[in-house]
Amino acid sequence: MEHRHLGRSGLLVSEISYGNWITHGSQVEEDAATECVRAALDEGITTFDTADVYAGTKAEEVLGRALKGVRRESLEIFTKVYWPTGPGRNDRGLSRKHIVESINGSLRRLQTDYVDLYQAHRFDVETPLEETLKAFDDLVRQGKVLYVGVSEWTADQIARALKIADEMGFDRIVSNQPQYSMLWRVIEAEVVPLSEKEGIGQVVFSPIAQGVLTGKYLPGQPPPAGSRATDEAGGAGVIKRLLGDDVLGRVQELKPIAADLGLTMAQLAVAWVLQNPNVSSAIVGASRPEQVRDNAKAAGVRLDAETLQRIDDVLGSVVERDPARTVSPARRP
């Protein structure tokens, strides 16, 4: 496993991160989830990503138990705040109240005194940005959080946060966690150039496009039984927009490229996002340990310019590039 700096910070993270969105606490049993975490550790993965909202806070609990007994200093644990974690009006958003209560809950569930990275899971239009950044900065001063970041923020929102942090002397954002894959490149036009300039690293999720880039979904055929596309409680709604025959047909044409390189389709997809120098780490999820082991082999793979061009030629117009597709809710959920 190779490691990269998180943006311009001194923190090193594994090129492949293990994330438990959807799976832990909902899609797979805890024993299987623990086996996946152990497989990640065996592969040299040191970075683990979760969020308070995943599986209604259960995902953090599962990850905390799975990592119990592992030397804390050898890990980088990330979590996030924003989405609802309870029925109350203040159990959501990026107010000082919710941030403070959320980090305390996350630390308790993760069984740790601090998290390495705490990220704003979306932009909160109902809270002054100064309030959010001051609350984050206070958590850094208290030692509960080492670094702060955001997730799925636009370039303009990130720029505003950096300006306020500089003016008020707060710790700066060092990361952004966007969706990014061969099929979803909306960060490339605006977010990546700003991030490169300001020292922000991308910790990308869904590099395999929720499984579509494995090639297991075939055009003109129903999704395989037991796949994410058939699990209404585990991500089926997210993946539906990628299941058109045009997309699936072009994905099938990537198979010879992967074969020529001696890679699985999943390895090719993960390796592709890691070719972007602004990407600090690619988050992979799994319901089985062998998926973790397969994905981890993408670390250190280098794709030449010809291969990257072949991929672009195959995917063509089905790639989403519009930066306007990065959107936070117009009001708190």
How many CA atoms does the CB half-sphere of 297 hold within 13 Å? 12
Q: Which of 186, 179, 255 is nearest to 217 (CA)?
A: 255
The alpha carbon torsion through 81, 83, 85, 91 (nearest 10 deg) reads 90
| Secondary structure (3-state) at 146 | strand
Assess whether 54 carries a catalytic annotation.
yes
The C-alpha atoms of residue 237 and residue 94 are separated, in whole angstroms, by 26
Q: Which of 145, 177, 148 is nearest to 162 (CA)?
A: 148
Joined together, the tokens standing for residue 289 give 């340990």
| 214 beta partners | none
The C-alpha atoms of residue 21 and residue 61 are separated, in whole angstroms, by 13
The C-alpha atoms of residue 143 and residue 184 are separated, in whole angstroms, by 36
Q: Which residue has the tokens 């979306």?
A: 122
Q: What are phi and psi of 223, to 5 degrees?
A: -60, 150
- 33 close to 202: Cβ distance less than 8 angstroms: no
| 47 beta partners | 76
Active-site residue among 54, 82, 118, 180?
54
Helix or strand run (H / E) with residue 96: helix 96-110
The C-alpha atoms of residue 33 and residue 107 are separated, in whole angstroms, by 19
The C-alpha atoms of residue 70 and residue 73 are separated, in whole angstroms, by 9
Active site residues: 54
